[in-house]
Amino acid sequence: MNLLQENIFLTALEPSAFNYGLRLLSFLLPKYKVYTIFSKSFLKEKKLLNHPNLKLIFDSDNLTSLGFFEVLSKYRIVRSLLKDIENLVKKEKFKFILSLDAWAFHEKIHKVFFKFQSSTKRYHFIPPKTWAWGEFRNKSLKILDELFCIFPFEERYFKNFGINAIYVGNPLLDIIFDSENLIKQKLKKDINKTRNLNIILMPGSRPQEIKNLMPFFLNITKNIFNKLKDKYSINFFMPLTPNVRNLIENYKIPNYICLSFGNSLKILKKADFGIITSGTASLEAALCGVPHIVVYKLNIFTYLLGRILVKIPYISLVNILLQKKLMKEHIQFLKEKKIEKDFIDLIDNKNIYLAHFLKIRKILKHGCFENLEKLLV
């Protein structure tokens, strides 16, 4: 088979999407020539940067942002990139474009393909959470040939707006395939008997999240360490994504925190408890059997805008799926004493949290990447 027979376009902007993109590349690269907008650091970490069938046209590490106001600051970069994509689409023929998450950005790229190469199939994986806010955005999704959903309620929701949506399963269950066993093993672990705590710290995967949250994480870790060190042997782990490696030299990480890169899943599987930024990491933690506190901090203007627009009561995916406030959420104004108290509650009620995590495991569906491979290859 000629590896260069057909071109496709794969684009990912967010760190969580990079992990999914790597799984997709495992079956796309043997079949297609892949032009991609992707994280250079992630590709380098997995030794894919020089793959003969992969062409990186833009490093996503230069564009990862948080909210509306942060994105505005990179307008010139986006405009220049869209012009480059337009020139590429005029020159090369593509079988399909597949974008991952970050619809506000990827919508612009789909419009370029629609205008200059309308025969190219347009797919998007991980829909925008318009069921949480911004229902008006659903109209823009009609440009797609297919929208691949990751939560069971999304397919019906988007179809009600005339969008060709299909629930392919949740990618985390393919990655954390041993989720049920992990949770059951941790149900058996007696913390009061072992007197050992493995605590995972996840301050975010975007550079702006690190800047916003790292000082808080270092303070709260120190407080928890001092409060519990006489009762437990405590191990703190802070696995970070490769794209924020250069930022860490700006912070003094104490020697009781084990810092690492690119191995968050491995750490989650052995962790007992966690303090985690809102987002995919919260659901990952639940599927790995890690009771945790959810924290988040944004640009103040983005936060205030969100308060006006968001129409659901929770931000944690765990709470959204369970439709109840299981995980404690601390947003924007991070009160350390209250967070310390909530963290102690995790230890005291560990098995209650784990029993709920088993319910989440049953809500979601396996086989996401297998289904995507059938649809794409």
Same fold, 7-174+365-376 and 176-363: yes
pLDDT of 19-66, one tens digit each?
A: 999 999 999 999 999 999 999 999 999 999 999 999 999 999 887 654
Cβ atoms within 10 A of the Cβ of 124, count?
27
What is the chain's length?
A: 377
pTM of the predicted structure, to 2 decimals:
0.86
- Matching residue, tokens 């992969």: 54
Provide the percentage of residues in the chain whose pLDDT is more than 70.
Answer: 93
Q: Above 70 in pLDDT, residue 162?
A: yes
Q: What are phi and psi of 370, to 5 degrees?
A: -65, -40
Residue 341 Cα distances to 224, 236, 326, 338, angstroms: 10, 18, 15, 5
Class of 176-363 per CATH? alpha beta
Q: Which residue has the higher pLDDT, 70 or 194?
A: 194
Confidence label for 3 from pLDDT (cuts 50, 70 and 90): very low
Q: What per-residue confidence (pLDDT) applies to 63?
A: 79
User: CA triplet 204, 179, 266: central angle to 5 degrees?
Assistant: 45
Nearest Cα to Cα of residue 44 among 59, 29, 23: 59
Conformational region of residue 134, where left means phi above 0, alpha means psi within -120 to 50, and beta covers everything else: left
Nearest CA-CA partner of 278 in 325, 354, 201, 331: 331
Q: What is the pLDDT of residue 347?
A: 96
Distance, CA of 310 to chain centre = 19
Residue with structure tokens 């046209």? 57
pLDDT in tens, 291-342: 999 998 876 766 666 666 667 788 899 999 999 999 999 987 888 899 999 9
Is the model's pLDDT at 1 over the cut of 50?
A: no
Q: What is the CATH number of domain 7-174+365-376?
A: 3.40.50.2000
In this prediction, residues 125-130 reach a mean pLDDT of 96
Which run of H or E residues covers position 359?
Answer: helix 350-363
The pLDDT value recorded for residue 207 is 87
Torsion of CA 53, 43, 274, 268, to 10 degrees: 60
Tell me: the pLDDT tens digits for 68-82?
445 556 788 889 999
Q: Can you tell me the mean pLDDT for 161-185?
A: 96
Predicted local distance difference test score (pLDDT) of residue 5: 77
Q: Quick check: 242 pLDDT over 90?
A: no
Q: Which among 8, 209, 14, 9 is positioned nearest to 105, based on CA atoms?
A: 14
pLDDT surpassing 70 at residue 93 = yes
Residues 247, 211: contact at Cβ < 8 Å?
yes
Fill in the DSSP letter of residue 206.
S
> What's the chain's average pLDDT?
91
Q: Which residues contact 288 (CB under 8 A, 6 or more apart)?
A: 176, 179, 182, 183, 265, 268, 269, 271
The pLDDT score that the predictor gives to residue 304 is: 65
* Long-range pairs of 372-375 with CB within 8 A, sequence gap ≥ 24: 372/24, 372/125, 372/148, 372/168, 373/27, 375/123, 375/146, 375/148, 375/166, 375/168
List strand residue ranges (DSSP E) for 192-299, in order. Answer: 196-202, 233-240, 257-261, 273-277, 292-296
Across residues 155-166, what is the average pLDDT?
97
Which pLDDT does position 296 carry in this prediction? 87
Domains of the chain by residue range:
7-174+365-376, 176-363
* The amino acid at 190: D
How confident is the model over 244-270, as a mean pLDDT? 93
- The number of angstroms, rounded, from the C-alpha of 126 to the middle of its chain's C-alpha atoms is 10
What number of helices (H) and strands (E) belong to the chain? 17, 13
Task: List the beta strands (DSSP E) in 28-126.
Answer: 33-38, 54-59, 94-100, 121-125
Is the CB of residue 339 less than 8 Å from the CB of residue 329? no
